[in-house]
Amino acid sequence: GQNIDQPTEMTATEGAIVQINCTYQTSGFNGLFWYQQHAGEAPTFLSYNVLDGLEEKGRFSSFLSRSKGYSYLLLKELQMKDSASYLCAVKDSNYQLIWGAGTKLIIKP
Amino acid sequence: IAGITQAPTSQILAAGRRMTLRCTQDMRHNAMYWYRQDLGLGLRLIHYSNTAGTTGKGEVPDGYSVSRANTDDFPLTLASAVPSQTSVYFCASSAGTHNEQFFGPGTRLTVL
């Protein structure tokens, strides 16, 4: 079966750095996406990786290793507004997104 | 309209009733999707449409139907609602199957 694993919840301190991991087992791979979802709101796109390596976008970076079935999202200089759930999703061989359950990130002052 | 809109925002429905959730996008995206999101589970794909006039089944299609008569609209119909269909429903669209998806604000549906 297809499976996306990410931690259920993480806590970090304002101003610090946090890394959210995602491992996947899917039928085929056509890219990995990270989305942010604030409570009660819709998911919004953060990043896309299709080749191995690090993609940096401001305070957020995303890393992919296809051979290990592994990705992480790195958030730097954490702000209170970064408190949200972070969703990892893999596009499979049918170009459909398979979603993880999400990691709830709690930022403390 | 800017982006994707969904209606209604929320609904309480008696079991056995028929219900249509509406979704409209103004980005001229070819692909559209319906997901449900339940606590502790990832988003699960119900149905999708890669282009107007075509639809396909996702991971959890039973009890739901869709149509795609034009590019902008992608309604989701529950023919006879059951309590297990209580969920938050998100509509999404993308320019193509290779592109990121943009989500509507969601419909919170409760079936009693």
* DSSP 8-state assignment for residue A80: G
Q: Write out the two tokens for A55.
A: 């993609």
B53, pLDDT greater than 90: yes
Question: Tell me, what's the pLDDT at B97?
Answer: 74
pLDDT of B55 > 70? The answer is yes
Nearest to B45 among A30, A48, A96 (CB): A96
For chain B, list residues whose CB is within 8 angstroms of any CB belonging to chain A.
40-45, 48, 58, 90, 97-98, 100-106
| A4–chain B Cβ distance below 8 A for any pair | yes
Is A99 an 8 Å CB contact of chain B?
Answer: yes
**Burial class of residue B59 in the structure, from the number of CB atoms within 10 Å of its CB (0-12 exposed, 13-18 middle, 19+ buried):** middle
Q: What is the mean pLDDT of chain B?
A: 95
Cβ–Cβ below 8 Å for B48 and A45: no
- Could A101 and B42 be called an inter-chain contact, meaning their C-beta atoms sit closer than 8 Å? yes
pLDDT, tens digit, for every residue of B13-33? 999 999 999 999 999 999 999
Q: What mean pLDDT is predicted for residues A25-36? A: 95
Distance from CA of A5 to the nearest CA of B (A): 10
Residue B1, pLDDT score? 53
Find, in chain A, the residue whose alpha carbon is nearest to that of B108: A40
Which residues touch A29 (CB under 8 Å, ≥6 apart)? A66, A90, A91, A92, A93
